[in-house]
């Protein structure tokens, strides 16, 4: 009976929501960006599964239900874009060129560094779209021949990193304009970075949402070409 | 709320149809975002119809990534065997992307004569 329940969606959804609710409370209480709710939830869930020797496959049934909501959420990013359309259209040139430069920098630096340090072909290909949002990155990796679930995990870890120190790093290098900051964080850290940017600044959050889609589109077109040429 | 949710899902569904039908490498939800933006711009859909549902989903956007992150546990062996290239490439590349994107956008914006504070 226990097994049947563990493998039902009920278990995975309950565990995910409980961990996330606690992680959010910790984030608000401590006010520390290092307690990023996504990162803390992932660590807590993995810890729970390992501690009780529950296989990952048991968690997947519920995990899929939570992940399902990512789809309509990406569609919903059209709303902040529409609401802020004037400010965004005013800056269309810096936005488009900034994201294109970032998408190229992402592919070349991630795969180049992994190659220099002796990463296997599978790892290099799985890392290449790490800044692109999960559903797009998985689609790209299926096409170029990496490991889609590894990519999904690396994408989320990248997102956590960008959410934890993105806005602070941007200020450090002199990127204080909210639109430019949102562009940088959204291009590097997709939806998880955007969630943080929505807390920092409204225009920055909207631009960050735009960067998720555009970086995904640009990478989906460029990466298969780069792989065909170099790998 | 229900109406908004239905509109978002229908847009995603239309996006999936286009993505699979035309075999475009772009996922249906991203095409759905484009369709919704176009429908809002053309006035076919009023922003009030979907605002509540969209705000609810976007307020919890980060939560929906958690299950994909938990998947990392399946690759503990591969990651511990190749931790150096994986961690270095992921971390450095994330900062490179932010620096390149942010500085390029700022430079072009400044050239246009905008105030970037």
Q: What tens digit of pLDDT does each residue of A18-39 get?
A: 999 999 999 999 988 889 999 9
Asked if A72 contacts B8 with a C-beta cutoff of 8 angstroms, the reply is yes
Q: Do B105 and A82 touch (CB under 8 A)?
A: no
B43 φ, ψ (degrees, to nearest 5)? 80, 10
Last residue of some domain: B59, B90, B108?
B59
Lowest mean pLDDT among A70-84, A196-210, B30-44, B100-114: B100-114
pLDDT at residue A97 tops 70: yes
pLDDT confidence bin for A192, thresholds 50/70/90: very high
Spatial separation of the C-alpha atoms in residues B116 and A105, rounded to whole Å:
23
If you average pLDDT over residues A202-218, what whole number do you get? 90
Report the domain count for chain B. Answer: 2
Residues A63 and A83 grouped into a single domain: no
Q: Do B109 and A83 touch (CB under 8 A)?
A: no
Residues A56 and A79 grouped into a single domain: no
B23 φ, ψ (degrees, to nearest 5)? 55, 45
Residues 3-62 of A with CB under 8 A from B: 12, 16-17, 19-20, 37-39, 41-42, 45-46, 49-50, 56, 59-60, 62
Q: Do B86 and A114 touch (CB under 8 A)?
A: yes
Residues A84 and A25 grouped into a single domain: no
From the list A50, A97, A134, the residue facing B108 with the nearest CB is: A97
Q: What tens digit of pLDDT does each residue of B3-36 get?
A: 999 999 999 999 999 988 998 767 788 889 899 9
Please state, rounded to an integer, the average pLDDT across all residues of chain A. Answer: 92
Residues B55 and B72 grouped into a single domain: no
Residues A81 and A62 grouped into a single domain: no
Spatial separation of the C-alpha atoms in residues A189 and A197, rounded to whole Å:
10
If you average pLDDT over residues A93-108, what whole number do you get? 94
Chain A residues touching residue B107 (CB < 8 angstroms): 94
Spatial separation of the C-alpha atoms in residues A216 and A38, rounded to whole Å:
21
Report the domain count for chain A. Answer: 2
Q: Do B66 and A147 touch (CB under 8 A)?
A: no
Spatial separation of the C-alpha atoms in residues A169 and A166, rounded to whole Å:
5
Record the tokens describing residue B95, joined without a space. 């900062």
- Give the 3-state secondary structure of residue B26: coil
Residues A49 and A108 grouped into a single domain: no
Residues B52 and B87 grouped into a single domain: no
Q: Do B94 and A131 touch (CB under 8 A)?
A: yes
Residues A52 and A89 grouped into a single domain: no
pLDDT at residue B114 tops 70: no
User: How would you label B28-40 residue by residue, b for 16+ Cβ within 10 Å and e otherwise?
Assistant: bbbbbbbbbbebb
| pLDDT value for A35 | 92
Record the tokens describing residue A90, joined without a space. 């005013």
Q: What tens digit of pLDDT does each residue of A131-186 get?
A: 998 888 988 888 888 898 899 999 999 999 999 999 999 999 999 999 999 999 99
Q: What tens digit of pLDDT does each residue of B45-66 get?
A: 999 999 999 999 988 988 999 9
What ipTM describes this predicted complex? 0.89
Please state, rounded to an integer, the average pLDDT across all residues of chain B. Answer: 89
Range of the domain at B90: 68-117
Q: Is B41 on the interface with A (CB under 8 A)?
A: yes
Chain A residues touching residue B11 (CB < 8 angstroms): 75
| pLDDT value for B117 | 44
Q: Do A134 and B68 touch (CB under 8 A)?
A: yes
Residues B35 and B81 grouped into a single domain: no
Give B77 to chain A, closest Cα distance, Å: 11
Residues A106 and A220 grouped into a single domain: yes
* Nearest residue in A to B42, CA atom: A82
From the list B11, B29, B72, the residue facing A157 with the nearest CB is: B72
* Nearest residue in A to B94, CA atom: A188
Residues B77 and B49 grouped into a single domain: no
pLDDT at residue A115 tops 80: yes
Q: Do B109 and A91 touch (CB under 8 A)?
A: yes
Residues A199 and A140 grouped into a single domain: yes
Please report where in the chains the tokens 């809002």 appear, as a residue. B40
Give A90 to chain B, closest Cα distance, Å: 10
Residues A42 and A80 grouped into a single domain: no
Residues B49 and B98 grouped into a single domain: no
Chain A residues touching residue B85 (CB < 8 angstroms): 113-119, 123-124, 127
Q: Is A79 on the interface with B (CB under 8 A)?
A: yes
- Give the 3-state secondary structure of residue A69: coil
Record the tokens describing residue A202, joined without a space. 């409204």
If you average pLDDT over residues A82-93, what whole number do you get? 88
pLDDT at residue B113 tops 90: no
pLDDT confidence bin for B112, thresholds 50/70/90: low
Range of the domain at A21: 2-68
* Nearest residue in B to A162, CA atom: B94
Chain B residues touching residue A73 (CB < 8 angstroms): 57-58, 60-61, 64
């Amino acid at each position: 009976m226990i097994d049947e329940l563990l493998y039902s969606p009920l278990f995975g959804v309950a565990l995910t929501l409980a961990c996330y609710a606690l992680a959010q409370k910790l984030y608000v209480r401590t006010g520390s960006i290092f307690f990023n709710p996504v990162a803390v939830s992932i660590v807590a869930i993995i810890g729970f599964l390992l501690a009780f020797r529950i296989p990952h496959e048991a968690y997947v049934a519920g995990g899929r239900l939570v992940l399902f909501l990512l789809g309509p959420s990406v569609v919903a990013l059209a709303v902040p874009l529409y609401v802020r359309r004037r400010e965004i259209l005013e800056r269309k040139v810096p936005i488009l060129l900034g994201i294109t430069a970032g998408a190229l920098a992402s592919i070349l630096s991630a795969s180049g560094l992994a190659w220099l340090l002796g990463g296997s072909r599978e790892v290099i290909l799985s890392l290449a779209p790490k800044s692109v949002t999960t559903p797009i990155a998985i689609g790209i990796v299926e096409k170029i021949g990496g490991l889609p679930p590894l990519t999904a995990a690396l994408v989320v870890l990248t997102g956590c990193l960008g959410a934890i120190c993105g806005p602070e790093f941007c200020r450090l290098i002199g990127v204080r304009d909210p639109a430019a900051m949102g562009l940088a964080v959204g291009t590097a850290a997709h939806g998880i970075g955007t969630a943080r940017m929505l807390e920092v600044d409204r225009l920055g959050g909207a631009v960050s949402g735009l960067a998720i889609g555009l970086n995904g589109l640009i990478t989906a077109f460029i990466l298969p070409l780069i792989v065909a040429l170099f790998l | 709320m229900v109406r908004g949710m239905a509109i978002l899902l229908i847009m995603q569904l239309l996006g999936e149809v286009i993505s699979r039908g035309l075999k475009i490498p772009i996922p249906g939800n991203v095409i759905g975002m484009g369709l919704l933006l176009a429908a809002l711009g053309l006035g076919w859909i009023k922003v009030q119809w979907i605002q509540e549902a969209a705000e609810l989903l976007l307020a919890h956007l980060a939560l929906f990534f958690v299950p994909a992150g938990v998947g990392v546990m399946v690759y503990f062996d591969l990651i511990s065997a190749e931790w150096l290239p994986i961690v270095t490439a992921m971390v450095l590349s994330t900062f490179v992307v932010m620096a390149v994107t942010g500085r390029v956008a700022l430079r072009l914006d400044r050239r246009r004569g905008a105030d970037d504070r």
